[in-house]
Amino acid sequence: MTSPTGARIDRSLVGSLGFRLLLPLFLTIGAVLTGYAALSFDSTRSHVMRLVRSEIQRSSGLIQQATHDGMLLNRLDEVQTTIERLSGAPDLAAIRIYDKAGEIVISADRAEIGSRIEVAEEPCLSCHGDGEPLTRAKLEEIRLATRGSDREVLRHLTVIANAPSCAAFGCHSSPEEEKALGVLDVEMSMAPIDATIASARSQLAWATVVLVLIVVASTTMLIRRLVQRPVETLYRATQRIATGDLDTRIEVTGRHEIARLGEAFNRMAEDLQRAHDDLQGWSRKLEAKVVEKTDELRRAQRHVLHSEKMASLGRLCATVAHEINNPLSGVLTYARLVERSIAAQPIERATGQELGRYLGLIQRECARCGDIVKNLLLFARQKGASLAPIDVNTVIDRSLMLVRHHLEMGGVRIHNEPLAGDAEIVADAGQLQQALMDMFVNAAEAMSGPGQEGGDLTVRTTGDRDAVQIDISDTGVGIPPDVLPHVFEPFFSTKGDTSGVGLGLAVVYGIVRGHGGSIEIESEPGRGTTFHVRLPRRPGPRPEEA
């Protein structure tokens, strides 16, 4: 019973390209060589038969010549002896002479002498047809004849003509009256010839088989080398390509069809690799674009949320400032009235001084609250700005000059890179100077804290036809990531209760936004902070005016 594996192997072998090429080629080669062998054998056999016929004809001629004198002198005993001697040759099966009446008068086999044959038998048919004499006798005839059950002989029948020399001796009539005297019958055994032909046939058959095997083996090797092996190589390369190995290439030799197929495969692999690399490149670019756009969307979202939060804080601060400003003004006014009233009353000096100290503290705290309210209004952009054309380089120089001493005391080195070319913008010089000074002081404090020995403050101004950008960088402690989103919120501070109320950067934010600009901050702990302030050259209408 055939196993499934064996069946698969058989089906694979039968369905292979090599088998489909070799089978019809083998059948064609076998048929051609077999036909050629058959034709060659027939040609060889015909040639051998011609040689045998020629040989028996020559032997008959020699017998006639050997017995001519005896026959001419009618010495039958001498002719009998000669024929018996000649029949000793291995290839001569029989020699006999018939007279014109069909009687065997001389034979190598003496037992046949005296036997008579009929006119219808072969020797008589040389001269007679259907028992009647022919007008033109046949001189000789060669044919295959069978004697016994399995003995085949080549018979040569020669008519013994009545020559004038025979009639001269008076034993025969003249040639005009009697043309034939008898028939010489020579039989040559075909056994040696058949054995030779059979041997030749066997040798030719084996030679044909060997030749077919040689041709088949050579053809198989050639097809294996020129067709099957390259196709298998191409198939394996295709499988590697299918698994993703796009670096696969085929070694190509020659200019035949398989070689051109290999070149086409290599070009296809190169195109696939190029397309794959392009796809990977586009995929990486797309991923980078997606990441970039995602970051932009996140920044925009944070900016929108921050803007909304700051706008809400601005409205809240404006409301709180308006609500607080009037009561503070009343408290400050009544404190001053009480102070004047006490001064006009006859009160003990010590008591009056103590009450004056209390009233002065009330007045100072009310003034401090008034400053906070003023800053809240600046953050909320409720106080109108006096816009006019100014030189931004001049404002920056003036602001640095005002805080230079404070910066130098903290060991801060100043690097100013002014805007080259047109440095004019429309802005409130006082508010812009206040914002710049707040940022300079904030940078100086970041570089003069505990463990700090100063640093570098860099102010770089650039611009285009629409806006001017001021980048303020320090090499301070930086801002932690969790604190960075809150630095512009009012009352948010990381400096402790003794360093302010946390309105400095909030006021900066309000001033920049009040000019229609934007402010962004970049910071890395331990590496410093950079403020990016972008101001339009011609600001549009303020939000509250719009």
The superfamily (CATH) of domain 71-196 is PAS domain (3.30.450.20)
Scanning 250-391, the segments in alpha helix (DSSP H) are 257-344, 349-379
Domain range summary for the chain, segments of one domain joined by +: 71-196, 385-546
Window from 68-77, 175-184, 399-408 with minimum mean pLDDT: 175-184
What topology does CATH give the domain 385-546? Answer: Heat Shock Protein 90 (3.30.565)
Listed range (272-281, 286-295, 302-311, 531-540) with the worst mean pLDDT? 302-311
Longest dimension (CA), the chain: 219
What interhelical angle do 349-379 and 257-344 show, nearest 10? 150
Q: How many CB atoms lie within 10 A of CB 414?
A: 15
Instruction: Give me the pLDDT at residue 506, please.
Output: 78
Residue 536 pLDDT > 90 = yes
Q: Report the range of poorest mean pLDDT among 244-248, 423-427, 432-436.
A: 244-248
Q: What is the mean pLDDT of the chain?
A: 75
- The pLDDT value given to residue 473: 92
Segment holding 79, helix H or strand E:
helix 76-86
Stretch 43-69: mean pLDDT, rounded? 78
Environment class of 255 (CB within 10 Å of its CB; exposed 0-12, middle 13-18, buried 19+): exposed
| DSSP-derived 3-state class of residue 469 | strand
Quick: pLDDT tens for 184-231: 778 777 777 777 878 888 888 888 888 888 888 888 787 777 777 777
Mean pLDDT for the stretch of residues 73-102: 76
pLDDT at 267 over 60: yes
- pLDDT for residue 455 is more than 70: yes
pLDDT confidence tier of residue 544, bands split at 50, 70 and 90: very low
Nearest to 268 by CA among 240, 291, 289, 292: 240
Q: Residue 136's pLDDT is what?
A: 37
At 382, is the pLDDT very low, low, confident or very high (cuts 50, 70, 90)? very low
Structure confidence at residue 489 (pLDDT) = 75
- Give residue-wise pLDDT tens across range 119-139: 556 666 655 555 444 433 344
Q: What is the pLDDT confidence band of residue 371, given thresholds at 50, 70 and 90?
A: low
Residues 164 and 167: their CA atoms lie apart, in Å, by 5
Lowest mean pLDDT among 51-60, 65-74, 400-409, 509-518: 65-74
Read off the pLDDT band of 546 (50, 70, 90).
Answer: very low
Exposed (0-12), middle (13-18) or buried (19+): which is 49, by Cβ within 10 Å?
middle
